[in-house]
A = this chain, B = another copy of it.
Amino acid sequence: MLRVVIIGSGNVAQHLAKAFVRSGRATLVQVYARHPEKLAHLLPEEKITTSLDTVAEADMYIIAVSDDAIADVSSQLPFEGRLVVHTSGSVSLEQLDGKNRRGVFYPLQTFSKNKDVDFKKVPLCLESEHEKDYAVLAELAKSLSDTVHKIGSEQRKALHVAAVFVSNFSNHMYALGSSICEENDIPFSILNQLIMETADKVNTLSPAQAQTGPAIRHDGKTIEKHLDFLKDGNRKEIYKVLTQSIQNTNG
């Protein structure tokens, strides 16, 4: 079985570590963590190291740290010529120190504490500096997920921006809806089905086909009522900008 070391103890590192332990099709030999207490619930103590100097030998090292720390951590690794990947959507492969064989292992998912993820369903986007390393990357990826894609640095950059729109910004739409509910004594849970159906629709329709609501209907009266209702400057501004954008894109 292929042996993996994970470097990091944040959200992505924890979800990855859990996925490797569960899959059983690769060996998680060690996790390097500056904050080992974050991993205590996942791994036995002997699998956690707090020193990069004593990091174990493995077929692949996965650097799952904040984007800004990737270059630093990769140059601190006390070995050369091994396969080292990072997990970031927005950092190029070249940011990794060239003394090792470089790659990217980008899970296209949103990871939160306290919310389990079915890793089998997480698309893994892979890139390797050397063609021959791709097979190892792909084998490891397939041990975790049913969906594996070869995505170069340029495409990954675009994909990451698209992911911010469909996930981070959608979640912010939920946040704004939630605060409107709260201010009007409406339980936010009343919107759960609508949220799920809106997401589910684009599994079968294009977002353009799926668009509904006052903006796409050019229903000026309802839009006016909504803008009157939104006294708060920020939400009103967002409502206007997005209504305009829907009408420009779809209308």
Contact = CB atoms under 8 A, between A and B. Distances in A.
Interface of A: 11, 66-68, 90, 108-112, 114-115, 117, 121-123, 125, 147, 149, 151, 154-155, 157-181, 183-186, 188, 190-217, 219, 221-222, 225-226, 229-230, 234, 237-239, 241-242, 245-246, 248-250
A222 B202 CA distance: 27
A201 to B, nearest CB: 6
A176 B165 contact: yes
A170 B163 contact: no
7 contacts: A68-B221, A123-B190, A123-B193, A162-B186, A169-B238, A171-B212, A175-B246
Nearest to A246: B172
A52 B209 CA distance: 32
Given A159-B190, A166-B191, A172-B215, 19 more contacts: A67-B221, A90-B225, A108-B194, A109-B193, A110-B194, A110-B197, A117-B197, A161-B229, A161-B230, A162-B178, A163-B194, A166-B174, A168-B211, A169-B173, A172-B246, A172-B249, A199-B199, A199-B200, A237-B241
A193 B181 CA distance: 27
Given A163-B191, A173-B173, A221-B68, A201 B110 contact: yes
Nearest to A216: B168
A73 to B, nearest CB: 16
Contact of A166 (B122, B177, B202, B209): B177
A226 B180 contact: no
A196 B199 contact: yes
A119 B134 CA distance: 47
B164 A213 contact: yes
Contact of A192 (B172, B196, B203, B214): B203
Contacts of A199: 170, 195-196, 198-200
A249 to B, nearest CB: 6
Contacts of A167: 194-195, 197-198, 212-213
Of all A-B residue pairs in the complex, the 9 with the closest CB atoms, nearest first, are A168-B213, A199-B199, A175-B207, A158-B184, A166-B177, A162-B177, A174-B207, A165-B177, A162-B180
Given A197-B110, A210-B112, A159 B172 contact: no
Nearest to A149: B190
A109 B197 contact: yes
B67 A222 contact: yes
